[in-house]
Amino acid sequence: MLFNSLAFLIFFPIVIFAFFLIPRRYQWVFLLLASAYFYMSFMPWYILVLVFLILLDYSLGRMIEKQQGKKRKLLLILSIIGNLGTLLVFKYFNFFNQNISYLADVINWNYSVQSLKLILPIGLSFHIFQSLSYVIEVYRGKHPAEKHLGIYALYVMFFPQLVAGPIERPQHLLPQLHQKKSFDYERVMDGLTLMLWGFFKKLVIADQLALMVDKIYGGLYQTNSAAILLAVVFFAYQLYCDFSGYSDIAIGSARVLGVELVKNFDRPYASRSITEFWRRWHISLSSWLRDYMYYPLALAAKKKTRVRLYWALFITFVLIGLWHGANWTFVMLGATHGFYLIFGQATKTWREKLAQKLGARQWPKIYRIWQIAATFGLVCISWVFFRAQTLNDAWHIISNLPKGLAQIFDFEFLRYQVLTIATIGSSKAFLSLILAAILFMEIVEFSAAKSTSIRNLIIRWPLSWRLGAYYLVILWILMLGYLGAKSFIYFQF
């Protein structure tokens, strides 16, 4: 059941009304049943995978809490094997098997293991990372083992963040699921406002940009360089609005039900460095890998050399890339960001001296704009590996970017190509409206950041202004939104 589907628009109001009408002691039961129904609307039988993971980690968490020493560590290893083994079978087995088969052909080795004919369960990576977070926190003694099986099952299956996060820690989510909820008008309106904003980003910006981006990526070798450059920039906004739009809807719907989920995006394209970008982009994933992957790798050795820290950082980001998908393009995505971060740290002192020498500090606003633009450009290049189907396609795109940039600034070229709109397959007027929507989003999110939330931004406005703003966004969705229930990009992970 997609958030942007008619089924969800029927499902969610029913859940809200029923949730606040039933006796409070049964609220968790109702939410668990609603979450199971929500997940089964995608692939009914794959709920058995979730049941297996829930029973495994619930049992091992209880056992870990009671054990000491090597037995405790062994139980943690069993949980890791069970979770990552499940992920390996569904998501990575065919990828590794295919590459081993290619290698076997090269060295004339008889290798006949067949690929598995399995469909990846929706959101499996998110479920597993959230389950592992629970077991690791119990093992570290930072959170007690959950004794209530139903509440733990709800922790894994809570429908607003069931499919694509945010990835929650047990300390934050489990206590909230134990609390009985009552209707709070301000909280409900805050949640609905955030959901509306998420729908705006998804339907008006992400899905409409997707139509243009898909057209260009589908005919890369018949498209001019300016169109390719435009598609690269458009995809950056498509990806952001698609995933942050999902997160806004998830956080907003959870807030309506009285549950606060962690913030997952914080205006990442306003970052002044790649390091800052990863503090603002997919925050729940980057912090998960920092705490459970990078720190253990970096701090494992007694002698913590800079080279070791760099290797730990690089490995972590390669794994981030591989987490996104079983394809070499995703490995390159992670490796690219790992290289960015290592290069940035290694040259930080030199770059600061250069900026000082060039007098950049005397023009702080211009320097800030330059840093944001440079960071955005590097991120756009990395997203090529996210979107391209093969490494050859990715190289073709990247190699065309300099020429595309030259064409964009060639006014004679633009005079005849009109920003390659004919290639994109969109009218100038429609493209202008989408660009206006992006500008509107940037202004609103910039203003909302100072007010901590969109709701806090507009709550001080007169009632007529607030109603006008809601009406404008809804009208924008109905008139410009893609209403074909297009799936969210991160559902594949």
Residues 297, 196 share a domain: yes
Boundary-marking domain end, from 183, 200, 224: 183
Residues 289, 260 share a domain: yes
Q: Can you spell out the DSSP letters for 224-237?
A: -HHHHHHHHHHHHH
- Is 152 among the domain residues? yes
340-390: per-residue pLDDT in tens? 999 999 998 888 888 888 887 788 888 899 999 999 999 999 999 999 999
Residues 143, 227 share a domain: no
CA angle 68, 70, 76 (to 5 degrees): 85
171-187: per-residue pLDDT in tens? 999 999 999 999 998 89
- Which whole number is the average pLDDT over 304-320? 89
Percentage of residues of the chain with pLDDT beyond 70: 94
Residues 170, 256 share a domain: no
What pLDDT score does 191 carry? 93
Q: For residue 383, how many other CB atoms are within 10 A of its CB?
A: 19
- Residue 424: pLDDT over 70: no
- Under the banding of pLDDT at 50, 70 and 90, the label for residue 465 is confident
- Is 150 among the domain residues? yes
Residue for token pair 């603002």 = 280
- Under the banding of pLDDT at 50, 70 and 90, the label for residue 418 is low
What pLDDT score does 222 carry? 83
Residues 235, 168 share a domain: no
End-to-end CA separation in angstroms for the chain? 16
- Residue 64: pLDDT over 70: yes
Residues 166, 202 share a domain: no
Across the chain, which distance is largest between two alpha carbons, in Å? 75
As for how many domains the chain has, the answer is 2
Q: 16-30, 350-364, 432-446, 447-461: lowest mean pLDDT where?
A: 447-461
Closest CA to 200 of 2, 477, 466, 454: 477
d(CA 475, CA 479): 6
Boundary-marking domain end, from 160, 183, 206: 183
Residues 173, 29 share a domain: yes
Residues 433, 287 share a domain: yes
Residues 172, 231 share a domain: no
Residues 308, 164 share a domain: no
Residues 295, 272 share a domain: yes
Tell me whether residue 324 is one of the annotated catalytic residues. Answer: yes
Q: Are 183 and 20 in contact (CB under 8 A)?
A: yes
- Residue 232: pLDDT over 70: yes
What pLDDT score does 493 carry? 62
- Is 1 among the domain residues? no
Long-range contacts of 18-21 (CB under 8 A, 24+ apart): 19/181, 19/257, 20/181, 20/182, 20/183
d(CA 205, CA 223): 23
Domain of residue 316, residue span: 187-492
Q: Which residues of 301-323 are buried (b: 16+ CB within 10 A; e: fewer)?
A: eeeeeeeebbebbbbbbbbbbbb
Closest CA to 19 of 141, 117, 132, 158: 158
DSSP-assigned letter for residue 293: I
The residue among 164 and 55 whose pLDDT is bigger is: 55
Q: Can you spell out the DSSP letters for 111-162?
A: --PPPP--PPPTTHHHHHHHHHHHHHHHHTTSSPPP--HHHHHHHHH-GGGT
- Report which listed range, 2-6, 316-320, 410-414, 432-436, is most confident: 316-320
Say which amino acid occupies 184: D
Boundary-marking domain end, from 164, 183, 202: 183
The pTM of the full predicted model, rounded to 2 decimals, is 0.90
Q: Are 234 and 380 in contact (CB under 8 A)?
A: no
97-149: per-residue pLDDT in tens? 888 888 888 887 877 777 777 787 888 888 899 999 999 999 999 999 999 99
Mean pLDDT of the chain: 87
What pLDDT score does 147 carry? 95
393-405: per-residue pLDDT in tens? 999 999 999 988 8
Residues 444, 486 share a domain: yes
- Under the banding of pLDDT at 50, 70 and 90, the label for residue 63 is very high
- Residue 88: pLDDT over 50: yes
Q: Which residue out of 127, 143, 282, 324 is catalytically annotated?
A: 324
3 vs 225, 282, 484, CA distance in Å?
A: 35, 19, 12
- Under the banding of pLDDT at 50, 70 and 90, the label for residue 422 is very low
DSSP-assigned letter for residue 411: H
Q: Are 121 and 49 in contact (CB under 8 A)?
A: yes
What pLDDT score does 482 carry? 75
d(CA 21, CA 19): 6
The residue among 242 and 487 whose pLDDT is bigger is: 242
d(CA 16, CA 486): 24
**Percent helix, strand, coil in the chain (nearest 5)?**
80, 0, 20
